[in-house]
């Protein structure tokens, strides 16, 4: 190998091949990598409904798993008041209400009016979102008003109530807006 003059040493990568230097700039050193040319060739758009449904189910399950864990770890009424489960039940009802109405019914694209029509579907969806946001806000209130401000020794039940409602809320959003309603895809 021969020694060559190396201009702009701080910006170049030098790879020595048999008798010549290959100069590559730092801005293009990943140009040879092809990320989209995978051998498996999975069409993610085709599996969008499946992925969104699984993700929403995992979020929903995780929310309930956290609160069940807190209820088992703190069975006494003094540590974890069992009325705090109401927020999770309301969040679950909101999850069902939000996803009971299709986007086509809200837009008015459906072929039949259904039992409520477009206005009824929008009101139903609005009430569902109000319940979802209300349960999320109430869980924050329980966290701070019931556990953080009184400086209880165990804050985990309050955190569990909040995360339960947050996971159910985001699971509902993923299930509602992550799926497509095109039957031909």
Residue 34: inside a domain:
no
In this structure, the answer to whether residues 7 and 53 fall within a common structural domain is no
- pLDDT (tens, 9 = 90+) of the chain, 185 residues, equals 555 555 554 545 555 555 555 555 555 666 666 666 556 666 777 788 899 999 999 999 999 999 999 999 999 998 999 999 999 999 999 999 999 988 888 888 766 666 778 888 899 999 999 999 999 999 999 999 999 999 888 999 999 999 999 999 999 999 999 888 776 54
In this structure, the answer to whether residues 143 and 81 fall within a common structural domain is yes
What the block records as the tokens of 68 is 């069940």
In this structure, the answer to whether residues 133 and 74 fall within a common structural domain is yes
In this structure, the answer to whether residues 65 and 149 fall within a common structural domain is yes
Per-residue model confidence (pLDDT) at position 52 = 92
- Other CB atoms within a 10 A radius of the CB of residue 174 amount to 20
Residue 82: inside a domain:
yes
What the block records as the tokens of 26 is 């730092």
Q: Give me the half-sphere count of Cα atoms (radius 13 Å) on the Cβ side of residue 47.
A: 7
CA–CA gap between residue 59 and residue 84 (Å, rounded): 20
In this structure, the answer to whether residues 124 and 152 fall within a common structural domain is yes
Instruction: Tell me the residue range of the domain where 5 lies.
Output: 1-29
Per-residue model confidence (pLDDT) at position 104 = 81
In this structure, the answer to whether residues 169 and 79 fall within a common structural domain is yes
Say if residue 185 is exposed, middle or buried (CB neighbours under 10 Å; 0-12, 13-18, 19+): exposed
Per-residue model confidence (pLDDT) at position 35 = 64
Residue 37: inside a domain:
no
Number of domains forming the structure of the chain: 2
In this structure, the answer to whether residues 59 and 23 fall within a common structural domain is no
């Amino acid at each position: 190998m021969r020694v060559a003059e190396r201009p702009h040493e701080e910006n170049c990568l030098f790879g020595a091949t048999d008798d010549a230097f290959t100069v590559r700039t730092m801005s293009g050193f990943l140009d040879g990598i092809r990320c989209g040319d995978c051998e498996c060739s999975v069409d993610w758009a085709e599996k969008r409904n499946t992925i969104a449904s699984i993700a929403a189910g995992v979020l929903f399950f995780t929310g309930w798993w956290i609160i069940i864990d807190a209820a088992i770890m703190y069975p006494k009424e003094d540590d974890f008041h069992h009325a705090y489960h109401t927020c999770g039940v309301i969040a679950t009802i909101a999850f069902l209400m939000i996803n009971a109405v299709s986007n086509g019914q809200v837009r008015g694209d459906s072929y039949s009016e259904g039992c409520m029509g477009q206005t009824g579907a929008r009101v139903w969806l609005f009430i569902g979102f109000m319940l979802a946001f209300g349960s999320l806000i109430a869980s924050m209130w329980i966290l701070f008003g019931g556990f953080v401000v009184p400086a209880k020794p165990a804050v985990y039940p309050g955190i569990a109530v909040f995360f339960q409602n947050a996971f159910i809320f985001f699971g509902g959003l993923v299930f509602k807006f992550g799926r497509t309603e095109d039957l031909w895809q």
